[in-house]
């Protein structure tokens, strides 16, 4: 509420209010309403522009792609070696791979007493990752490793598995390892393809 005591400021005309009479208070009130009406009267374009600005501000604050992303680490770019064949000691040796994969299958599948179709997807993905990591540790640096694992329930059925690949028989190779117990069987296919 406007009183004489708190009107020690400028009125709408720019003159200082002394604050002793009721007429001064009335004139300040009228000039204050005129100033507030002037500030309220805006064109529709001004209102639309401000609303759009607020809408875009709200949108930019809520969108995650506008947030500061972490910079990607710089990649080291190597020059081509122009090697068309692997070195003799780095050829894919299927016997050493087979010796490494059999204990992995025995370790992870020996405790499986019942085939569960719900758990077989998780178990297959886990076996694939473990086998691929172990084969990569053997040092085949210029080979791409592909691992395929098939799990099934042990019964009175037979199964045949066939694969075909287009590759260079001098540098590329594969290994097939199988495991079975009373409940399940597993067939693992490991393919090594040389790349330049």
Q: Which two tokens stand for residue 154?
A: 């042990």
| Span of 33-47, 111-125, 129-143 with lowest mean pLDDT | 33-47
Condensed to tens digits (0 to 9), the pLDDT of residues 72-123 reads 788 888 788 777 777 766 778 889 999 999 999 999 999 888 998 898 999 9
| Span of 54-63, 109-118, 151-160, 166-175 with lowest mean pLDDT | 54-63
CA proximity to 104, closest of 147, 142, 143: 147
Residue 51 has pLDDT above 60, yes or no: no
Query: Which of the residue ranges 21-35, 79-93, 182-196 has the most confident prediction, judged by mean pLDDT?
Result: 182-196
pLDDT at residue number 146: 94
Residue 63 has pLDDT above 90, yes or no: no
pLDDT tier, 8 (very low <50, low <70, confident <90, very high otherwise): very low
Q: Looking at per-residue confidence, does 159 or 146 come out higher?
A: 146
**Mean pLDDT throughout 127-140?**
93
Q: Looking at per-residue confidence, does 150 or 17 come out higher?
A: 150
Give the helix/strand (H/E) hosting 152. strand 143-153
**Mean pLDDT throughout 132-142?**
90
pLDDT at residue number 186: 93
Give the integer Cα–Cα distance in Å for 172 and 165: 10
Query: Average per-residue pLDDT in the chain?
Result: 76
Taking residue 191's Cβ as centre, other Cβ atoms within 10 Å add up to 19
Residue 102 sits at φ, ψ, to 5 deg, of -60, -45
pLDDT tier, 6 (very low <50, low <70, confident <90, very high otherwise): very low
Residues whose CB falls within 8 Å of the CB of residue 50, separated by 6 or more in sequence, listed in order: none
Q: Which residue has the tokens 């002394």?
A: 18
Give the integer Cα–Cα distance in Å for 98 and 104: 10
Domain chopping of the chain, boundaries: 1-77, 88-194
Q: Is the dihedral of CA 51, 54, 58, 59 positive or negative?
A: positive
Pick the CATH number of 88-194 from 1.20.1560.10, 3.30.1140.40, 2.60.40.10, 3.40.50.10490: 3.30.1140.40
pTM score of the predicted model: 0.57
Q: Which two tokens stand for residue 168?
A: 């260079």
Residues whose CB falls within 8 Å of the CB of residue 31, separated by 6 or more in sequence, listed in order: 11, 12, 13
Residue 12 has pLDDT above 80, yes or no: no
């Amino acid at each position: 509420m406007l009183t004489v005591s708190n009107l020690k400021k400028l009125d709408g005309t720019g003159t200082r209010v002394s604050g002793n009479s009721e007429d001064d208070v009335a004139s300040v009130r009228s000039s204050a309403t005129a100033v507030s009406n002037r500030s309220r009267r805006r064109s529709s374009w001004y209102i639309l522009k401000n609303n759009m600005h607020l809408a875009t501000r709200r949108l930019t604050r809520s969108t995650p792609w506008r947030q500061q992303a972490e910079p990607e680490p710089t990649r080291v770019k190597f020059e081509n070696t122009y090697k068309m064949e692997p070195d003799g000691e780095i050829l894919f040796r299927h016997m050493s791979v087979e010796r490494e994969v059999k204990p992995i299958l025995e370790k992870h599948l020996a405790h499986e007493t019942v085939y569960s179709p719900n758990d077989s997807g998780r178990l297959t993905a886990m076996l694939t990752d473990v086998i691929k990591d172990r084969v990569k540790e053997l040092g085949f640096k210029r080979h791409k490793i592909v691992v395929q694992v098939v799990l099934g329930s042990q019964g009175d059925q037979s199964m045949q598995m066939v694969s075909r690949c287009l590759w260079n028989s001098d540098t590329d190779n594969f290994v097939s390892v199988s495991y079975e117990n009373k409940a399940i069987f597993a067939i693992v296919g490991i393919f090594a393809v040389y790349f330049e």
